[in-house]
Amino acid sequence: MTGTCLAYLMAFISSGTQIANGTKAQNERVSLDIVHGTVNPTYTAELLTFFRIVTTPSSFIIYINRSLDLEHFYEKFNKELSFVQLSLSCGFKTKLSLNLSIEPVNEFPPDLGGPYHACLRMDTPAFAYVFNLSINVCDKDVGGTTHLVYQVQQFQRGTGNGENYLEFASPLEGIIQRNNVTLKYSDYVNLPLHLLYLNMTVQDGAFETWTILVVDVIEESSSRGDVDCSAQRYTATIMETDTNVDVHVQPKLQPCDPHNSIKHCVYSITSGNAINMFAIDNATGELTLLKSVMEVGLTEAFLTLQLQVSKIINCSEETVLAYVAVLTVNINRSRDQTHTTDSGVLSIIIIFGVALVAFIGALSFANIVVCVKDKLKFVHTAEK
C-alpha cells in the first residue's frame, strides 16, 4: 500500500475531540467510510454524520462532529453500538483503518413510575412473593451501564410503615417479599385504612429515584374477598402551587348500580381531609382542591383520602349502602428534583372497595341479605 497519509488514533471520543490526524500530499483527497460488517448498512449514512474532516494542503484532522449518542442509535435502530471501524482513504491507493471502541456513559436515572399497589393477607408466610418492581423500571441508558440496586427506605409519616413487614429479596432484584416479622391482629387494627406504605428506591450509578408501594392488608378470614388489586387505577394531576382547581380524575369516577337507576347518591370525603384541602360535590362527586400544598405547608410526598358514595337502599329506608374508595394523592413539586416518580403526577388511585351496610335502626338478618343484593360499584367509563 502506497501513499503519504499517516493516522494516529486519539484516546478519548467525545464531541469536538480529535480522533485522528495525519499528513497528505497537496493534491490528495481524504475521505471516510464505514467498514460494512462492523455496523449495519441501514444506519451507515447517519453514523458518518458524527464525523468531520478538516484539511489543509498538507494535513488533515478527523473530529467527532457530535457525541456518539448510543441511546439515539438504540431507539432508532434497536442496536447497541460498542465498536465502529472507519476506513480512511487518502488519494487513490492509500486506505487505513481506524478502530473505535465506544465506552457507554451512564446519563439517565431509572424511571420507576408508580405509585404501585398490592394485596397482602395477614397470614402470608415469611419470604413469600408480594410484588415485582423490576418489571416497571425503565432506564434509557444502553451499552451495559445499567446496574440497578434496590432498597427499602423508612416511611417518614410514622404510620403504615411497610418496611416493618416487607423487604427486597435481594438488592440486585426488584422482588418484594414478606419478611419474618409477624403481622399481628393488633397491628392490623391500628393501620390507618388497613394500608401499608413501602418507600422503595432504585439506584443506578450516581442516580437514585424512588416510588411508593401501597399495600392493602386483608384479614385471614377473607371477609374482604371483593378486594381487586388488579383493577385499573384512577389518576389525576396537580402542582404544589395549584389552588381552587378541579381535580380531574381519569377515568371518571362514578358509581354503577346494576339493579336500579341511581338518582340520589351522596358523595363524601370520610378520611384524610382534616385540613380541608379538598372539597367534594355531594351530588356529583366532583373533587376540588381548595388550598395549595405550599399554602398549607405540606412536606409529604403524598396524601391519602377516603371517598364514599352512599344511598338509601330500596328495601329499607333505615339502611344505608355505601361504597368506599381509598385514594393516594401524590404531589408534583414544581422545583427540579432528582427523586421523582413518573413525572410526579397526583395519582388518585382506587385500592379497594368494600360494600358496607350501616344501620340507623335495628334490622333482622333476613333484611340484610335482601338489601345487600343491591350493590353500588365504581365503574371505569372513558370521559367523552
Do residues 238 and 374 share a domain?
yes
Residue 8: inside a domain: no
Q: Look up the CATH number of the domain holding residue 152.
A: 2.60.40.60
Q: For residue 238, name the pLDDT band (cuts at 50, 70, 90).
A: confident
Lowest mean pLDDT among 137-141, 220-224, 279-283: 220-224
Q: Is the peptide bond before 251 cis (omega within 30 degrees of 0)?
A: yes
Instruction: Look at residue 328 and tell me whether its pLDDT is greater than 90.
Output: no
Q: How far is the C-alpha of 222 from the C-alpha of 354, rounded, in Å?
A: 12
Nearest to 257 by CA among 378, 376, 381: 376
Residue finishing a domain among 188, 206, 228 = 228
Average pLDDT, the chain: 71
Highest-pLDDT range among 8-17, 267-276, 337-346, 370-379:
267-276
Within this chain, do residues 24 and 123 fall inside the same structural domain, yes or no?
no
- Based on the domain organization, do 215 and 111 belong to the same domain? yes
Under DSSP, the state recorded for 239 is B
For residue 170, what are the contacts with CB-CB under 8 A and spacing of at least 6? 150
**Is residue 106 pLDDT above 90, yes or no?**
no
Domain shared by 243 and 382, yes or no: yes
In a domain, 7, yes or no: no
Lowest mean pLDDT: which of 70-79, 356-365, 372-381? 356-365
Element (H, E) at 312: strand 302-312
Whether pLDDT at 383 is above 90: no
Domain boundary among 82, 101, 120: 101
User: Residue 298 has which C-alpha cell?
Assistant: 405540606
Instruction: Give yes or no: residues 243 and 320 share one domain.
Output: yes
SS3 of 170-221: CCCCCEEEECCCCCCHHHHHHCHHHEEEEEEEEEECCEEEEEEEEEEEECCC
Residue 85, pLDDT > 70, answer yes
Domain boundaries, position 186: 106-228
Q: Is the pLDDT of residue 26 over 50?
A: yes
Whether 120 is covered by a domain: the verdict is yes
More confident residue, 347 or 169: 169
The CA-atom distances, in angstroms, between 248 and each of 288, 289, 331, 332, 353 are: 9, 10, 14, 15, 20
Residues 85 and 73 in one domain: yes
DSSP sequence for 55-123: E-SSEEEEEE-S---HHHHHHHHS----EEEEEEEETTTEEEEEEEEPPP----PPB----EEEEEETT
Q: Where are the beta strands (DSSP E) in 113-157?
A: 116-121, 129-132, 148-153
Q: What is the pLDDT of residue 325?
A: 66
**332 and 365 together in one domain:** yes
CA atoms of 22 and 6, how far apart (whole Å):
5
Please check whether residues 376 and 245 belong to one and the same domain. Answer: yes
Assess whether 211 and 305 both reside in one domain: no
Asked if 178 and 296 sit in the same domain, the reply is: no
Which of 207, 228, 249 is at the close of a domain? Answer: 228
Q: Report the alpha-carbon distance of residue 213 to residue 200 in Å, rounded.
A: 7
Q: Residue 251 pLDDT more than 50?
A: yes
The number of domains in the chain is: 3
Measure the CA–CA gap between 118 and 170, rounded to whole angstroms: 19
Distance CA 86, CA 31 (A): 10
Same domain, 85 and 164: no
C-alpha–C-alpha distance, residues 163 and 152, integer Å: 7
pTM for this entry: 0.54
- Is there a domain that residue 11 lies in? no
Residue 219, classified by CB atoms within 10 Å of its CB into exposed (0-12), middle (13-18) or buried (19+), is middle
SS3 381: strand
pLDDT tens per residue, range 107-124: 888 888 877 888 888 888
Check whether 37 has a pLDDT greater than 70.
no
Mean pLDDT over 59-71 rounds to 82
N- to C-terminal Cα separation, the chain? 72
List pLDDT tens digits, range 170-192: 999 899 999 999 988 888 888 87
Q: Kindly state whether residues 276 and 287 are assigned to the same domain.
A: yes
SS3 content of the chain, % helix, strand, coil (to 5): 10, 40, 50
